[in-house]
Amino acid sequence: MAASGEKPAEFVEALAKGLAILEAFDAGHPEMTLSEVARRVGLSPAAARRALITLMELGYVGQKDKRFHLRPRIMALSSAFYFAARIDELLQPDLRELVNRFGDASSVGALDGADVIYVAHVSVQRARRAAATVGARYPAYATSMGRVLLAGLPDDVLAERIGHDRFVPLTSKTCTDPCLLREELMAVRENGYATTVDQLDYGITALAVPIRDPGGRTVAALNTSGYTGVVTPESLIADRLPALREAASHIAHEINRFPVLQSILGG
């Protein structure tokens, strides 16, 4: 294994560039010119062009006029994860039960760098707000699941994250002070849950708990959320925390029963 910060000798730069280009397309950038792709990914136009031509030949990228866009085949990559991890079988039932009982929305997320990625989600909401869909990723510091996942990190890793990550205000209520965030995370560790109000987007109040492996390591997080003003952190704790913890325990059992999913979520 290569030393920290170094790439292994077998690292394929061309593959990394192609994947970076695929990840560059999002809701804010559904289509881009060659120069826009190159600038967004940090490649030379020539390198970006070679990668785009390859992706077009493979069917993952299309082009209209001078603008590039993703093609439906890209969904095969995400569906491969979904089915390999048996998300519908192992995670969705508990989320459906929570939503059937409380309404609103429920999700399972895993930590990926500084972000939390939603790997399962059930919702009855139709509001205009940050979309918590499968595959969505948001800054961990601004979400209830992300805070649970950050609080579950070893002390040295957490200290490095807080010391080096950038905390951008997403709303006027987003906590961006590293010292205050650390205090929040220490409280999450002590309480065994995290709550957030309008941290990621206005109108989102959420409660999350950890999903742990048999050794007690936090490998994922489970949340329930509702509209700010309709629910409060106090009401979520009083009404939903016991059911959320029970669901997290059941999901942990399912993850333990299927080691591949444990490996996927735990990195």
Residue 8 in any domain: the answer is: no
Residue 97 has a pLDDT of 95
Residue 165 in any domain: the answer is: yes
Of 75 and 186, which is predicted with more confidence? Answer: 186
User: Are residues 110 and 20 both part of a single domain?
Assistant: no
pLDDT of 146 over the 50 cut: yes
Report the alpha-carbon distance of residue 181 to residue 174 in Å, rounded: 10
Mean local confidence (pLDDT), 184-201: 97
Report the alpha-carbon distance of residue 92 to residue 121 in Å, rounded: 7
Report the alpha-carbon distance of residue 45 to residue 136 in Å, rounded: 28
pLDDT tens digit sequence for 200-241: 999 999 999 999 988 899 999 999 999 998 999 999 999 999
- pLDDT classification of 23: cutoffs 50, 70, 90: confident
User: Are residues 70 and 129 both part of a single domain?
Assistant: no
User: Are residues 171 and 52 both part of a single domain?
Assistant: no
Handedness of CA 155, 148, 3, 21 (dihedral sign): negative
User: Are residues 116 and 221 both part of a single domain?
Assistant: yes
User: Are residues 170 and 67 both part of a single domain?
Assistant: no
Of 90 and 211, which is predicted with more confidence? Answer: 211
The Cα diameter of the chain in Å comes to 57
The continuous run of DSSP H or E covering 68 comes out as strand 67-70
Report the alpha-carbon distance of residue 170 to residue 173 in Å, rounded: 8
pLDDT of 164 over the 70 cut: yes
pLDDT of 45 over the 60 cut: yes
User: Are residues 207 and 187 both part of a single domain?
Assistant: yes
The number of C-alpha atoms within 13 Å of 79 and in the hemisphere containing its C-beta is: 5
Residue 7 in any domain: the answer is: no
Distance of CA 46 to the CA centre of its chain: 32
- Bridge partners (DSSP) of residue 197 are 205
Range in 1-15, 18-32, 56-70, 163-177 with the lowest mean pLDDT: 1-15
Report the alpha-carbon distance of residue 143 to residue 162 in Å, rounded: 15
User: Are residues 96 and 66 both part of a single domain?
Assistant: no
The continuous run of DSSP H or E covering 147 comes out as helix 144-151
Handedness of CA 226, 166, 177, 155 (dihedral sign): positive
User: Are residues 89 and 181 both part of a single domain?
Assistant: yes
Report the alpha-carbon distance of residue 237 to residue 248 in Å, rounded: 15
Residue 5 in any domain: the answer is: no
Report the alpha-carbon distance of residue 160 to residue 165 in Å, rounded: 8
Residue 79 in any domain: the answer is: no
Last residue of a domain, one of 74, 95, 123: 74
Residue 131 has a pLDDT of 56
User: Are residues 97 and 122 both part of a single domain?
Assistant: yes
Residue 124 in any domain: the answer is: yes
Residue 137 has a pLDDT of 86
Residue 237 has a pLDDT of 98
Of 84 and 246, which is predicted with more confidence? Answer: 246
Provide the CATH number for the domain around residue 180.
3.30.450.40
- pLDDT classification of 10: cutoffs 50, 70, 90: confident
Residue 230 has a pLDDT of 93
Amino acid identity of residue 1, one-letter, is M
- Number of domains observed in the structure of the chain: 2
User: Are residues 28 and 110 both part of a single domain?
Assistant: no
Residue 21 has a pLDDT of 93
**213-225 burial code (b ≥16 CB/10 A, e <16):** beeeebbbbbbbb
Beta strand extents in 71-136 (DSSP E only): 105-112, 115-123
Residue 247 in any domain: the answer is: yes
Residue 154 has a pLDDT of 94
pLDDT of 100 over the 70 cut: yes
Residue 167 in any domain: the answer is: yes
User: Are residues 229 and 123 both part of a single domain?
Assistant: yes
State the average pLDDT for the chain.
88
Residue 27: give the domain boundaries.
13-74
Provide the CATH number for the domain around residue 18.
1.10.10.10
pLDDT tens digit sequence for 110-129: 998 899 989 889 988 654 45
User: Are residues 70 and 90 both part of a single domain?
Assistant: no
Residue 75 has a pLDDT of 77
pLDDT of 78 over the 80 cut: no
Report the alpha-carbon distance of residue 94 to residue 243 in Å, rounded: 10
Last residue of a domain, one of 53, 74, 95: 74
Mean local confidence (pLDDT), 133-154: 92
- Whole-Å CA distances, 230 to 95, 134, 199, 226, 233: 20, 25, 16, 7, 10
